[in-house]
Structure 1
């Protein structure tokens, strides 16, 4: 666990990252950028063969992006700027790096690109209520568990109505929305570890691969097959299922 005086961007040039803060977990698939504001206690976890790049923002630019953890899709220009800012020119002492003014210009271009991008629905909020935390533990351990909210409530001693209210008030989403995001997070980890679409679908609780593909595409913006093979440029806006 660590925190920084400056906010920072973490870019997954390959693989899958998870950024954990007190607010929850940001899932960062390849070609996404996670923003963690200054002062947030956090840690990173990599899944699979991951290429992680980190860029810190000065306060003058950090104020232009959200004051909460967020994930953005990296545009082609943002990707090139991130790679340039974290490439050998800046990490290798023997190579001439960018001047301070050039680096400042590149950072401004990067922030401008992020301001034009939509936040991705890839932040899984962390419950605070003990009853929700108990459900979260169970489903993190067994993401394929298809128990209804009523069945889970019986296990922990809480009514469906109470749990539904807590999910809405604390996390800003329904139980089923939250569980779908949790399952997609686990799916990204399995895909990064080399599992195929069908194996991943069943392991994460979908009754068939087509349902998994639709849910995955709705959140990630590309199909599991394209994601797994590295063809990750979204062909459509997130939220529209694909038949691929």
Structure 2
């Protein structure tokens, strides 16, 4: 997991919080008694757990179950919102890290819970609405699972360091000490996806980081292994659900002014 640090600014509310992070900022490694949801009102977040990395652009919300050791990392200046859920509501969400499409209503509820002080009854109502929205939402392919097999870990580390590498699985296998057929089976059995699906997820993660750092689409496409921007845009839209340009506009929109919305409790 990345090194720890402190947010630039934090506001805490009952069972919720809002944290401003500089680009590259990371939280300490933590474990909570309650499961929690994180949302990036601006910027991009990644959530690192022992099971893998969840990628959280502006139209997604990530879930981390109670008791999971985790760490958050900001890509670009990031306005991170976090909401903790009581066990009775958390039971309606998977007991593993997950990423969900955030509906317009879910985003507004997340922002309301993390922008002002609410009485207990109002907070409980909003939490129920939020869980109802997520219960109906589709899980998104923005979870990058972490391999356990040493041969897969060798390949995964190489690709993290060289996301544009188009070396075949057979050639990577020769370096890792396993055949392509064995590795293909391991990817499916351990990670639930093919090698090429996993590599695409990794590349999209790197693309989100580079976009958050201000690089243009052409640079990002080549840096992440696509031969041309059009291929990258198509792959990005298939995974993220929007084009890189639209994604960038979303990540720079502030939908709430916390100082204006705060209500004394």
With normalisation by structure 1, the TM-score equals 0.90
Higher relative contact order (CA 8 A, sep 6+): 2
1:177 corresponds to which residue?
197
Task: State the 1:111 CA deviation.
Answer: 0.5
- The structure-2 alpha-carbon separation of the partners of 1:155 and 1:212, relative to structure 1 and needing over 3 Å to count, comes to same
Give 1:199 shift. 0.4
CA contact (8 A) 1:14 1:31 kept: no
Q: Report the Cα distance in structure 1 between the residues aligned to 2:243 and 2:118, rounded to whole angstroms.
A: 37
Equivalents in 1 of 2:74, 2:138: separation in Å?
Answer: 24
CA distance in 2, matches of 1:169, 1:146: 23
Q: Does 1:84 align with 2:112?
A: yes
3-state DSSP class of the match of 2:43?
A: strand
Verify the 8 A CA contact 2:102 2:134 in the aligned structure 1: yes
Q: Hey, what does 1:204 align to over in structure 2?
A: 224
Q: SS in structure 1 opposite 2:66? A: coil
Q: 1:3: which partner in 2? A: 31
Q: 1:32 aligns to what?
A: 60
Q: Which residue of 2 aligns with 1:124?
A: 144
Which of these residues, 46, 51, 67, is aligned with residue 79 of structure 2? Answer: 51
Which residue in 1 is equivalent to 2:133?
A: 113
CA shift at 1:180, angstroms?
A: 0.2
The whole-number CA distance in structure 2 between the counterparts of 1:121 and 1:229 is 21
Match of 2:179 in 1: 159
Equivalent position to 1:103, from 87, 109, 123: 123
User: How far did residue 31 of structure 1 move?
Assistant: 2.6
Q: Deviations over 1:128-176 (max 9, x none)?
A: 0000000010000010111010111111221111111110111111000
SS of the residue aligned with 1:230? helix
CA drift at 1:26: 0.3
> Which consecutive residues of structure 2, in runs of 5 or more, have no partner in the other structure?
1-28, 253-265
Is the partner of 1:9 in helix, strand or coil?
A: strand
Q: CA–CA distance in 2 between the matches of 1:144 and 1:46?
A: 22
Q: CA RMSD in A?
A: 1.3
1:194 maps to which residue?
214
**Cα shift at 1:231:** 7.9
Provide TM-score, normalisation by structure 2.
Answer: 0.83
Give runs of aligned pairs for residues 54-69 of structure 1, distance below 5 A.
54-69=82-97
Task: Name the residue aligned to 1:137.
Answer: 157
CA distance in 2: counterparts of 1:124 and 1:231, whole angstroms: 21
Instruction: For structure 1, list consecutive stretches of 5 or more residues without a partner in the other structure.
Output: 90-96, 233-244
